[in-house]
Structure 1
Amino acid sequence: MTRAALIQDWLAGGFVGSEKVLAEMLAVLPGSPIYTLVHKPEDFLGTPLENATVHTSAIQNWPRGVSSYRNYLPFMPYQIEQFDLTAYDTIVSSSHAVSKGVLVGAGQLHVSYIHSPIRYAWDLYQQYLREANLTSGVKATLVKIVLHYIRIWDHSTANRVDVFLANSHYVAQRIWRTYRRPARVLYPPVDVDRFDHTRPREEFYLTMSRFVPYKKLDLIVETFTKLGKPLVVIGGGPDFEKVKALAGPNIKLLGRLDDKEVADLMSRCKAFVFAADEDFGIIPVEAQAAGAPVIAYGKGGNLETVVADQTGVFFGQQNIESLTRAIGIFEERIAQFDSATIRKHAEQFRPERFRAQFAAILKAAENAKQSGNDPEKAVLTLQLDDL
């Protein structure tokens, strides 16, 4: 029987995107231990990860290690390498930071599911420095040096992975650019059964996200304030007050809501608005599962989850003029958007399909490894369409 271990960057930010992927991996590999830099158990009460066996790094016990773990970024590469995984045949890492860099032996299989190469070290490096006000000065220089060495480490550790999986074709392209390695696309699981697509649509628009700069909630709120159209905003985060200051009387900022409240609003909204350049973007898929058309920025993972003129409308630039045009086009064509058709499109992202495809990928990779063949080639040529 294959002995497997799961690796996650951290388990301290709630049960959201990468954590939901990890839970489905655990369903395929039940009882497997999880190794992670830090763990905040109270964030996972009532979730499939609540009773998982979790091993943490030394950062867990450092001052404010759990609450402010990002401050320890310079130490994360070293700490992820300290996990002793010699007892396992198969290592599965779920990585958007450092977990793909775990040390593995020649006889072990390492499959790494990449949500994104480290964005603030690669693609968003200059944007991160600007938004953090780290373009000049001593602190800025130190941060740039740290990120420089993280890039070197991150690139070198690509050789520790047998098989790369990507959460979208967009991320697969970035994996190739960053590591010069091909990746098999395996879309993340979305719990479509949470949503009801049969309810009547109402007159308000909806958006939902963390209040951080790249999500562009300020753009959405400013646009709808200018248009005077009703908009409901769900979420919280560092930019909440900034966005609130832009909101007119037609904007309702509801803060964070539970899953039931979110599903209710998605099932009733006129359309869901999404302005981020996402690697995949689970929230737009959830909106489509609720039968809601999506007005989305036409870049990145959005192009793989939204179908133009069938499940939504794209806008080409992250500015008020472009978003305003897209809203106008949507309202002109609103009659052509059918909730049942939109829901059917979202069905392809069901968790059951993710589990079936992930299990098939693991089996193909393990068989290839055991027979002395190339696991990467076995996975890249595997037929998954019927699963």
Structure 2
Amino acid sequence: MKIAIVHDWLVTYAGSEKVLEQLLQLYPDADIFSTVDHLPPGERGFIKNKPVTTSFIQKLPMSKKKYRTYLPFMPLAVEQFDLSSYDLIISSSHAVAKGVITGPTQLHISYVHSPIRYAWDLQHQYLKESGLDKGAKGLVAKWMLHKMRLWDARTANGVDHFISNSGFIAKRIYKTYHRDAHVIYPPVEVDRFQFGAAKQDYYLTFSRMVPYKKIDLIVEAFSAMPDKKLIVIGDGPDFNKVKAKAGANVQLLGFRPTSEVIEYVKNARAYVFAAEEDFGISIVEAQSAGTPVIAYGRGGALEIVRGMDTERPTGIFFDEQTVPSIVDAVERFEKQEDAIDYYACRENAARFSTERFRDEFKSFVDEKLGVRVAKLPAEGVFV
């Protein structure tokens, strides 16, 4: 059986790449397709140093740093991949990978991290943050996103089975494509984070500093609570904006190597998370270290953290992405902190291990392949 794995773009090692890594653990002989591949020679271990078939975008000017500017051409790019010789196609998609063209006797399973966020329900936020909500450039961007939505909805018909990375994304898939999706949570290296029961008196947040992560809100909230210490790890476009809001009790460390991050997570009193994420890998990582979580109660966080109304709570939620709401959550956490068992946090994180991901994914694929084989002789198609 020939297998192809289609990825949106290969430029770094982040959440979707960790899924790709595990898919290659399951299917080491699979061929990889991606719109661009700009992984440095020393950082290709997670794809087993395999060659990657890329699209014409790979050779366009500045595609290494400005690949996102070619988004209008990416639907055309993925449609040019010739997958006709493959029996099983697995797309790992948060943008365009699911749009590859497949035939009636091929099985296409798409693991969706999210439908294209900036083309669907987050369009207005994206345009505003990019300064494209007004003027001629804004009109062009809106038209491009309109065309992207039409293409994205149409190409959902080419997917035989959807897998979503959370129940939250399954709802988004149904809203966008009117298709059901089987939930398989993404793989998290829970054993990499050391458990710590001797917590220190500081709160922690770590993230790339981009607008939707809302790190500025967390910093502003703790600056309003000068008796509480906050440590912030991460860098990104919003770093100076965040720094300008930091009080004396807020320490910005910038980028730190993984070994240091692990130590800070292990010893933190609680991890603070204010984004509306599709899943939230950093939340699982904090829980695996036995660290309670104070999280915005939307998106994937609700599927990871066990709130105070559960039998073995692992954290607490706040309802709004505002400074007062975060301040209130921290105060509530300190009043109920003794009800959270650090060992319960660690056990909770085990639900999201890499081994569990591989087992669930392989079982799903094997089941669908079995249905395909059973139906092909009689009908020539599969469901």
Fold similarity call, TM over 0.5: yes
What's 1:201 paired with? 199
CA contact (8 A) 1:4 1:91 kept: yes
SS at match of 1:193: helix
From 341, 346, 356, the equivalent of 1:343 is 346
CA contact (8 A) 2:197 2:342 kept: no
Alignment of 1:1-387 (within 5 A): 2-12=1-11, 14-42=12-40, 45=43, 47-228=45-226, 229-309=228-308, 310-372=313-375
Q: Structure 1 residues 117-126 or 333-342, which shifts more? A: 333-342
1:256-307 Cα distance to aligned partner (Å, 9 max, x none): 2222111111100010000000111100000000110000000111100000
Alpha-carbon distance in structure 2 between the residues aligned to 1:172 and 1:43: 36
Alpha-carbon distance in structure 1 between the residues aligned to 2:120 and 2:65: 25
CA contact (8 A) 1:168 1:301 kept: yes
Structure 2 CA distance for partners of 1:276 and 1:246, relative to 1, 3 Å: same
Normalized against structure 1, the TM-score is what? 0.94
CA contact (8 A) 1:15 1:47 kept: no
Matching residue's letter, 1:247 = A
C-alpha RMSD of matched pairs (Å):
1.6
Q: Structure 1 residues 225-234 or 44-53, which shifts more? A: 44-53
Structure 1 segments, 4+ long, off by >4 Å, are none
Alpha-carbon distance in structure 2 between the residues aligned to 1:33 and 1:247: 47
CA shift at 1:199, angstroms? 4.3
SS at match of 1:55: strand
CA shift at 1:193, angstroms? 0.6
Structure 2 CA distance for partners of 1:113 and 1:196, relative to 1, 3 Å: same
CA contact (8 A) 2:196 2:267 kept: no
Matching residue's letter, 1:42 = P
Alpha-carbon distance in structure 2 between the residues aligned to 1:144 and 1:296: 32
Structure 2 CA distance for partners of 1:189 and 1:325, relative to 1, 3 Å: same
CA shift at 1:52, angstroms? 2.3
SS at match of 1:210: coil
1:34-70 Cα distance to aligned partner (Å, 9 max, x none): 1001112218626422512311111111111121100
CA shift at 1:111, angstroms? 0.1
CA contact (8 A) 2:8 2:34 kept: yes
Identify unmatched segments of 5+ residues in structure 2. none
SS at match of 1:10: coil
SS at match of 1:111: strand
Percent same amino acid at aligned positions? 48
CA shift at 1:177, angstroms? 0.4
Alpha-carbon distance in structure 1 between the residues aligned to 2:109 and 2:52: 19
Number of residues paired by the alignment? 375
Matching residue's letter, 1:132 = S
